[in-house]
């Protein structure tokens, strides 16, 4: 029973609803749907700000959706007290001539459950990042020649990195010109930083391995970082208690492209950086202005 509870915390899908819409921000948008290579239908919004520059935003995992994170329904102990709306940075981007594709990963928001009906922390979700790029380049004629930027948060950054490691992956889309990776996180570092007793961690990992079909400690997106071919900004709150800064430094060091590492010195919460992207979009998203 304890193993199921721990595994549910880590890999159970559909733990966050759609709680906000672009209409609340007066944005011009349409509801969209597209399929990943394994037939999983993904749903999202295409926010219209221009046809020559597009940002694909990939959210973090488990308790998140395309529109962000809400404390509602998250139990008595919450890592952040108010909604974190990713539409804030979408509003900023649209106002600066960018269109924005915001979509739900498989098992999140309004997208379908995956062929593996659990959250994998990136390896399976990599198919969704590829599908999002494919949708913009091949299914939307108005964006065929547009420059694309990737705004990838946490599991979104992991999935994007895995997607560059696949032979059918993002390297096949030369329109992608830049990436921002916000707080990439490996499962092993997260569990260690939580300080969870070993017997509990192992109990949860055994259940998750049965569910996913692989040991969550084995896939390692750091092995694929050197395959990222576009200028990349890495963003990390140095006061984040849920990771080790050495992992972020290793991610950055393995990049072989033009790069920068932005350390944030903000509140002692992982969620503070997710909030920072929307409250200080110019500080982070200005990276795209250089390359798109």
Spacing of C-alpha 207 from chain mean position: 24
Is residue 65 over pLDDT 80? yes
Question: For residues 105-134, b (16+ Cβ closer than 10 Å) or e, as one string?
Answer: bbbbbbbbebebebbbbbbbbbbbbbbbbb
Q: Count Cβ atoms within 10 A of the Cβ of residue 175 and give its class: 0-12 exposed, 13-18 middle, 19 or more buried.
A: middle
- What total of structural domains would you count in the chain? 1
Whole-number pLDDT of residue 195: 84
Whole-number pLDDT of residue 77: 76
Domain around 10: 2-291
Whole-number pLDDT of residue 268: 97
212 Cβ contact partners less than 8 Å away, ≥ 6 residues apart: 11, 116, 118, 120
- Of the candidates 138, 140, 103, which has an alpha carbon nearest to the alpha carbon of residue 18? 103
Whole-number pLDDT of residue 75: 77
Q: 29 phi and psi, to 5 degrees?
A: -155, 170
Q: What is the mean pLDDT of the chain?
A: 95
174 Cβ contact partners less than 8 Å away, ≥ 6 residues apart: none
Kindly provide the residue ranges of all beta strands, DSSP E only, lying in the chain, ordered along the sequence. 29-35, 41-47, 53-58, 68-69, 84-85, 99-103, 147-153, 176-182, 232-237, 259-264
What confidence category does residue 191 fall into, taking pLDDT thresholds of 50, 70 and 90? confident
d(CA 37, CA 128): 8
Is residue 76 over pLDDT 80? no
> 96-113 pLDDT, tens per residue?
999 999 999 999 999 999
Q: What is the CATH number of the domain that holds 233?
A: 3.40.50.1820
Asked whether the beta carbons of 206 and 235 are under 8 A apart, the reply is no
């Amino acid at each position: 029973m304890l193993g199921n509870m721990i595994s549910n915390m880590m890999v159970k899908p559909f733990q966050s609803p759609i709680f906000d819409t672009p209409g609340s921000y007066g944005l011009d948008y349409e509801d969209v749907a597209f399929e990943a290579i394994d037939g999983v239908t993904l749903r999202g919004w295409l926010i219209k700000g221009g046809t020559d520059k597009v940002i694909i935003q990939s959210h973090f995992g488990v308790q998140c959706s395309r529109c962000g994170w809400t404390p509602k329904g998250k139990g008595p102990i919450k890592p952040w007290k108010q909604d974190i709306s990713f539409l804030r940075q979408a509003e900023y981007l649209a106002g600066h001539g960018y269109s924005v594709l915001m979509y739900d990963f498989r098992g999140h928001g309004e997208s379908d459950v995956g062929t593996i009906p659990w959250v994998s922390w990136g390896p399976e979700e990599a198919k969704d990042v590829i599908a999002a790029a494919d949708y913009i380049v091949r299914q939307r004629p108005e964006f065929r020649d547009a420059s694309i930027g990737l705004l990838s948060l946490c599991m979104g950054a992991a999935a994007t990195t895995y997607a560059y490691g696949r032979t059918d992956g993002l390297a096949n889309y030369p329109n992608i010109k830049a990436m921002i990776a916000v707080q990439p996180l490996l499962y092993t570092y997260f569990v260690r930083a939580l300080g969870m007793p070993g017997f509990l961690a192992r109990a949860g990992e055994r259940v998750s391995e049965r569910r996913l079909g692989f040991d969550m400690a084995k896939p390692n997106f750091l092995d694929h970082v050197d395959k990222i071919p576009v200028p990349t900004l890495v963003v990390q709150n140095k006061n984040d208690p849920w990771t080790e800064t050495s992992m972020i430094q290793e991610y950055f060091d393995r990049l072989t492209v033009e790069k920068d590492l932005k350390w944030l010195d903000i509140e002692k919460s992982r969620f503070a950086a997710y909030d920072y992207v929307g409250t200080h979009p110019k500080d982070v998203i200005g990276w795209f202005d250089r390359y798109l």
